[in-house]
Amino acid sequence: MKRALASVGFACLALFGGLDARADVVGPPPSVCPEGASPTSCHGGPLCAPLACDETADCAGGTVCKEQPFCVTTVSCGGLIPPDADIHDYDRKDARSTCPNGDECTGGATCESVKVCLLPWEGTTSAASSGGTPASSGGCSCRVPGVTRNGRASAIAALVAIAAGAALLSRRARR
């Protein structure tokens, strides 16, 4: 049994021992954002950052630059802010929904029209005004450098297989 536990311990060290962990944890981005906003996260929490643009040339993937009225709040994304820094430099707009009738927002949000990159058929008359569309693009999250999501799944699967093998060996040793 001791050999089996030692094997599992060495396997854990081999799989995870060389990875450097990051202590600066930021939670996951929101799962839903309205069209024209991207899910992201910072030290102030999850937010939907407007995909701001000045003209269509600033947009990619067939999107165009057009006005979108969002219910906007401000999130302070500063973590370890230097003492001489202006805290407002770390403020980000959070656009969790579009303005229902062009001017009605709740929860302390104000209706603000922002030029954002949208697909030509997207805008205020779409599903965005009733809560948005599923998030489809990146954002910040807590990750271990050098380990992808698939790499973590593979490492966990390997660890489970090693533990199962160790348990099987210890069972046979008892017989």
Give this prediction's pTM.
0.54
Which of the pair, 3 or 34, is modelled with greater confidence? 34
DSSP, residue by residue, 90-109: GEEEEEEEE-TTSS---TT-
Where along the chain do its domains lie?
2-22+145-174, 32-134
Residue 84's pLDDT is what? 81
Q: What is the pLDDT of residues 42-101, one digit of tens each?
A: 888 999 999 999 999 999 999 999 999 999 999 988 777 777 878 778 889 999 899 977
Q: What is the pLDDT of residues 106-157, one digit of tens each?
A: 888 999 999 999 999 887 543 333 344 333 333 333 333 444 334 444 555 5
Which residues are 42's β-sheet partners? 45
Banded pLDDT at 158 (limits 50, 70, 90): low
Residue 59's pLDDT is what? 93
Residue 77's pLDDT is what? 84
